[in-house]
Amino acid sequence: MTKQSKKTPTPQISTKVIKGLAGRDLLSLAEFSSSEVQAVLDLAVAMKQNPANYDTTLKGKSCILLFEKPSLRTRISFEVGIAKLGGHCIYMDHSTQRLGQRESVHDYGKNLERWVSCIIPRVFEHVTLTKMAAASGVPVVNALCDMHHPCQALADLLTLRECRGTLRGIKVAYVGDGNNVCHSLMHGCVLTGANFIAITPKGFEPNPEIVKECRKIGETIGAQVTVTNSVDGVADCDAVYTDVWASMGTSQDEAGRRMKTFAKYQVNAALMARTGKETIFMHCLPAHRGIEVTDEVLDGPGSVVYQQAENRMWAQMALLALILKT
């Protein structure tokens, strides 16, 4: 069940914004303007309320998923979402052979542009995406890399908007590792006027260049970015977000070291109580129960994690509809 504070009319998306998004890549959410992010969210709301109105939007379009990393939410949400829009989706498993090993990423992209309308890679390294986008004449959408996870952030923003009614002025706390999810959520928050605070152990802060980039965006929109090592930073937050402490590909030794370093950053009932208000809990999933988050919080009344998972589909549907519009 979706938790919504209220239903609001969907604003009309300007023709200028629609034209500006057509044919675009999405490698990092920072590549989009505030109005473009809002347009994706607005269309996602409209699609979610009346999906039948959009069931031929991608008719005749084919999209390909190129996945070096395993997935549940990303794969299924793209495949089902593309089908709901009348499009066709192809999945290629690259878990045993990374992109660029059998043939160059450049040649791969030049071939794919002849057959498909959109390329959607889920990769280990951001550079793979930049090479693919440079080679291909069709849009490339980042389904996850080591630096960014923009489609997750769009779903998170949609969820926050449903739960809080607005994004502007709210405060979102991210607790844990300053990773790709943290980076994209930070981008999304400042682009929509939400204040963002990253709460991490020392040495695990988000990339300083991305923090600088987000603060610059925030100055123009009126959103603040804070980075701290203190869990007291969750005070007065509207949402507390966490992710796994060790991402896919992290060695067992490193994962073990992180367990000790991150222990006091576990999102539990005591940490949620520090917010001092009714706060929602968010997680991109999969969750390691009893590690970065307790069952009490993950399964509690304030948790919207499955709403986020559902919204991956609606946000991605809106994104593809706009960038593949001809």
Can you give the residue ranges of every domain in the chain? 15-148+312-323, 152-308
Domain 152-308 in the same topology as domain 15-148+312-323: yes
Q: How many CA atoms lie within 13 A of 41 on its CB side?
A: 29
User: Does CATH place domain 152-308 in 3.40.50.1370?
Assistant: yes
d(CA 24, CA 27): 10
**Is residue 49 among the annotated active site residues?**
no
Selecting among 94, 145, 152, 177, the annotated active-site residue is 152
**Is residue 152 among the annotated active site residues?**
yes
- Specify the pLDDT at position 11: 56
- Specify the pLDDT at position 12: 81
- Rounded to two decimals, the pTM is 0.95
Selecting among 182, 183, 312, 316, the annotated active-site residue is 312
d(CA 273, CA 287): 21
Selecting among 149, 161, 258, 283, the annotated active-site residue is 149
**Is residue 122 among the annotated active site residues?**
yes
d(CA 177, CA 155): 20
Helical ranges in the chain per DSSP H: 15-21, 34-49, 73-84, 105-112, 126-135, 150-164, 180-191, 208-221, 252-261, 269-273, 295-298, 305-323
What CATH architecture is 15-148+312-323? 3-Layer(aba) Sandwich (3.40)
Query: Is residue 206 reached through a cis peptide bond, with omega within 30 degrees of 0 on the bond before it?
Result: no
Divide the 326 residues of the chain into consecutive groups of 10 and give the mean pLDDT of each group: 48 87 98 98 97 97 97 98 98 96 97 98 98 98 98 98 97 98 98 98 98 98 98 98 86 85 97 98 98 98 98 98 92
**Is residue 148 among the annotated active site residues?**
no
Mention every residue, 6+ apart, whose C-beta is less than 8 A from residue 83: 89
**Is residue 149 among the annotated active site residues?**
yes
Selecting among 73, 75, 94, 122, the annotated active-site residue is 122
